[in-house]
């Protein structure tokens, strides 16, 4: 009797083990009570998703179109340009909400968002370099810092954390400032918005402030040294007089047509400057931390390879 019961118990365990997998050898998911049930499988008939048509990415494409349109109007129409550029920047917050609502967070969308941010800001800084040539080296430095900081940070994130890691997951032990910046959505929005607002305000001042752009509000007579008769035929010489600096922001007559009060832009500069300066400091911190992370990976990699090799002392 005991021998028969043992054989029965073994056969029962064998049947249980056999039933714990499907006929095709696939694993079976277990529920909370420990009973087995078949895991859901994706049907071969399910059409593949088109990542490029996800709602957050469509919003990203709209941002690009608006940014290009703002660049088209940038040299001559400051109001239209500022409106289009501002809408493009504000949509940066909307695509994140869309990604969470529709469960459409993708690596392509994250890279598209970052590339769009870097390119639009750089294009505006390039224009400011031409509008304020004396300060061009500052704007060029900001472009270099922005690109290098974010590139190093993204690359370090992929090297240290792997392909599934996010550049927004910053350990507090490494940097409390970066952790607060990337983890708190309100802080991230305020910093990005006021940073862009500062440069937009500078752009508006290039059309409105005689302190920063005195040549933009000179009359044709003052700039050419002569009087232009009303109704005079437009010729090449006159165009050169009207536009002595064709690469400046809204030269002369077109700048006067778009003349604006500089009080509001100056107020925006004053409000946004501290946050913009802090944003640049965060870029420096991000660049330094990313560089250190990559250097630590290099040290460990060299140790694993037995580098640096010990140099044996030469005998007598």
The one-character DSSP state at 159 is: H
Measured CA to CA, the distance from residue 274 to residue 197 in angstroms comes to 12
Instruction: Check if the beta carbon of residue 280 is closer than 8 Å to that of residue 143.
Output: no
Distance CA(88)–CA(59), nearest Å, equals: 9
* Catalytic residue chosen out of the listed positions 92, 95, 113, 117: 117
What span, in angstroms and rounded, lies between the C-alpha atoms of 192 and 89? 9
Q: Per DSSP, what are the bridge partners of residue 30?
A: 36
Give CA–CA dist 104/222, Å, rounded.
58
DSSP 300: H
Pairs from 115-121 (Cβ < 8 Å, separation ≥ 24): 116/60, 116/63, 116/64, 116/67, 116/92, 117/92, 117/192, 118/146, 118/147, 118/150, 119/67, 120/63, 120/67, 120/85, 120/88, 120/89, 121/146, 121/195, 121/196, 121/199
* Contact (Cβ atoms closer than 8 angstroms) between residue 196 and residue 116: no
User: Cis (ω within 30 of 0) for the bond into 310?
Assistant: no
With residue 156 as reference, give the H or E element that holds it.
helix 136-161
In the chain, beta strands by DSSP E: 29-30, 36-37
Active site residue 117: yes
> What amino acid positions are annotated as catalytic residues?
117
């Amino acid at each position: 009797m005991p021998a028969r019961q043992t054989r029965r118990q073994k056969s029962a365990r064998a049947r249980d083990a056999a039933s714990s997998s499907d006929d095709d050898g696939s694993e079976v998911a277990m529920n909370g009570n420990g009973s087995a049930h078949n895991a859901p499988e994706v049907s071969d008939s399910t059409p593949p998703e088109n990542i490029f048509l996800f709602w957050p990415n469509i919003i990203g494409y709209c941002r690009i179109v608006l940014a290009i349109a703002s660049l088209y109007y940038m040299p001559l129409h400051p109001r239209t340009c500022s409106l289009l550029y501002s809408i493009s920047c504000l949509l940066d917050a909307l695509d994140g909400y869309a990604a969470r609502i529709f469960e459409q967070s993708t690596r392509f969308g994250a890279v598209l968002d970052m590339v769009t941010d870097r390119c639009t800001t750089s294009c505006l800084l390039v224009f400011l370099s031409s509008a304020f040539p004396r300060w061009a080296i500052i704007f060029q430095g900001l472009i270099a810092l922005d690109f290098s900081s974010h590139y190093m940070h993204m690359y370090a994130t992929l090297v240290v954390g792997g392909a599934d890691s996010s550049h927004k997951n910053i350990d507090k032990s490494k940097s409390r400032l970066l952790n607060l910046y990337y983890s708190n959505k309100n802080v991230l929005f305020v910093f990005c918005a006021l940073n862009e607002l500062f440069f937009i305000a500078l752009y508006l001042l290039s059309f409105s402030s005689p302190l920063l752009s005195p040549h933009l509000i000179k009359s044709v007579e003052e700039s050419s040294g002569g009087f232009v008769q009303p109704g005079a035929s437009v010729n090449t010489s006159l165009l050169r007089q009207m536009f002595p600096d064709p690469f400046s922001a809204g030269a002369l007559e077109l700048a006067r047509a778009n003349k604006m009060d500089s009080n509001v832009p100056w107020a925006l500069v004053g409000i946004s400057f501290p946050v913009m300066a802090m944003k640049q400091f965060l870029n420096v911190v991000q660049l330094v931390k990313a560089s250190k992370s990559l250097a630590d990976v290099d040290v460990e990699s060299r140790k694993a390879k037995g580098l640096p090799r010990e140099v044996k002392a030469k005998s007598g």
